[in-house]
Amino acid sequence: MNQLYDWDNLLLAYRKASKGKRGHADVAEFEYRLEANLLQLQRELQSQTYQPGEYHSFYIHDPKKRLISAAPFRDRVVHHALCNLIEPVFERSFIFDSYANRIGKGTHKAIDRAQQFARRFKYVLVCDVKQFFPSVDHEILLKILYREIYLAFRGVGDITPYGDDVSRYFWRLRLAILTSTAHCPLITDNCSLITFHF
């Protein structure tokens, strides 16, 4: 997976990770020695000696209480570098009506789509998977990830902690598997399903 530590990928990852956050102290510190920091990450990833830092955990209330775990900025650059590579692989497995953390989607488009469905269907199913992130079976998730990533990056055929981009992406993949199996049967004359996961 040489693309992970490719200079252009790491630079793009830095730009994505720092977008809207350049005034934060940890981002400014990383940027002050940008070239040296990216070269250090590149060496560690290439030699497989990279070790993630400790997460900073805190609670938010929006509207319910949630535990958020924030990775150090250096690790967020690595997360974006990884997502740059795996996003195209997994994007094809998400249903059309999944809107969170996807390019060209988002909250406003999800609301627009929900309004379209509201005009067309009589019934709406509103549900939430309680404690979804903490309850994900990591063994199952890792098997799925291994299969999809291994096959995609080995060229073998076509592949049809909450708080950071990578974990949200992986958990969304797991929920996508559930919703893709539930999505088709739920589209009837009276009802449809739209998903917005975090």
Residue-range domain boundaries for the chain: 1-72, 92-198
Q: What is the SS3 assignment for 109? A: helix
- Strand 65-70 with 56-61, pairing: antiparallel
What predicted TM-score, i.e. pTM, was given to this entire model? 0.70
pLDDT for 18: 97
120-129: Cβ within 8 A, 24+ apart: 120/192, 121/189, 121/190, 121/191, 121/192, 122/190, 122/191, 123/190, 123/191, 124/191, 125/186, 125/191, 125/193, 129/175
The confidence score (pLDDT) of residue 196 equals 45
Contact present, 173 and 144 (Cβ < 8 Å) = yes
Residue positions counted in the chain:
198
Residue type, 80: H
Centre a 10 Å sphere on the Cβ of residue 166 and count the other Cβ atoms it contains: 19
3-state secondary structure of 185: helix
User: Among 2-16, 121-135, 156-170, where is mean pLDDT lowest?
Assistant: 156-170
Largest CA distance in the chain: 59
Question: Between these two residues, 168 and 16, which has the higher pLDDT value?
Answer: 16
